[in-house]
Amino acid sequence: MIPDIAILCTRGDRNVDIINDLAIAGVKVAIIMASDMSVPYDEQLTIEQKCLQIAQQAGMKIVGPNSLGVLLPWQNFNASFSPVDCLPGKLAFISQSSAVCTTILDWANDKGIGFSAFVSIGSGSDIDFDDILDYLSRDSKTEAILLYVDSIRDARRFLSAARAASRNRRILVLKAGRHQTGTLNVSATASSFDIVYDSAIQRAGMLRVNNTHELFAAVETLTHSVPLRGERLAIITNGMGPALMALDTLADKGGSLAQLSTDTIEALDAVLPKTWSKTNPIDLGAMPRLIGIVRQLRLFLIAKI
């Protein structure tokens, strides 16, 4: 019986022989967790390059090296060395950094947030972002995709896959290295290069966040978001300036404001200050305990609109 997948947890200098044995056996996928594979194998190739050469000749795909592994919670599949498992959910996470993976997993478990797929591609010598994006864009369990990016090997393939996936999936990108990597001296060239990344990410239909704090906030928003039922929208605000900007965006996207019925206005009168706008957008003004009121209104309006 030929295994579907092999997980290599050994040190790097053993992996050439192991990959060769797996190729002979006909295994189609190998996850390599070793991080010490950039050293020379011979005068021409590193260990990583030799493993990839053997795999390509045999039609085998490689995840890694330097991978934390792969977790697919809906399939109860955990091929990783993560000390914690992850819950099933509707978000997919792809990362080049194993350290970022463990940080995200710890935080998500504390918050009760789950994932449809959790993939650490590591060095991405074979399977890279574009391969995973192509798969996740067709995965029924995935509604949004989160990426942690150190660098892009093939920009054309990455942007093509991201553009296609962003048509029906929301994609957030945390791109590290906004300034020159490995130095405290901020380089104008490095900053200019990051502008290119920023522009490409935006043109591909993805949203960029700048740090893990913003990523965590975005994950919570995506996890607890309620899908729109039709195009009617109620806007709750504590100032008309933000509401007007929301109205502009809504109009640009082809949406429309919901018309509040007499019954809804009377029900809102009972809980809101007399100075509220009595129309949509619902302007609460500068009132105390705003967050609690907004939560109550949100549940009320979802039931009404």
50-76: per-residue pLDDT in tens? 999 999 999 999 999 999 999 999 999
pLDDT at 185 (0 to 100): 43
Q: What digits encode the pLDDT tens for the residues 79-125?
A: 999 988 999 999 999 999 999 999 999 999 999 999 999 999 999 99
pLDDT at 180 (0 to 100): 52
Could you report how far apart the first and last alpha carbons of the chain are, in Å?
Answer: 57
Sort 28 into a burial class: Cβ within 10 Å, 0-12 / 13-18 / 19+.
Answer: middle
pLDDT at 171 (0 to 100): 94
CATH 3.40.50.720 residue ranges in the chain? Answer: 5-63
**Structural fold of domain 69-224:** Rossmann fold (3.40.50)
pTM of structure:
0.74
Whether 193 has a pLDDT exceeding 80, the answer reads no
For residue 65, whether the previous peptide bond is cis, meaning omega lies within 30 degrees of 0, is yes
Range 232-304: architecture per CATH: 3-Layer(aba) Sandwich (3.40)
pLDDT at 61 (0 to 100): 97
Whether 295 has a pLDDT exceeding 70, the answer reads no
Q: Containing H/E element for 115?
A: strand 114-120
Sign of CA dihedral 48, 54, 55, 57: positive
Q: Specify the CATH number of the domain 5-63.
A: 3.40.50.720
pLDDT at 60 (0 to 100): 97
pLDDT at 271 (0 to 100): 81
Arithmetic mean of pLDDT, 207-219: 86
Q: What is the mean pLDDT of the chain?
A: 86
CATH 3.40.50.261 residue ranges in the chain? Answer: 69-224, 232-304
Closest CA to 218 of 145, 169, 118: 145
Percent of residues, the chain, with pLDDT higher than 90: 53
pLDDT at 255 (0 to 100): 79
Helix 129-136 to helix 155-165 angle (10° resolution) is 10
170's CB contacts (< 8 A; 6+ apart) are: 143, 144, 145, 207, 222
Q: In this structure, what token pair is assigned to residue 61?
A: 């795909």
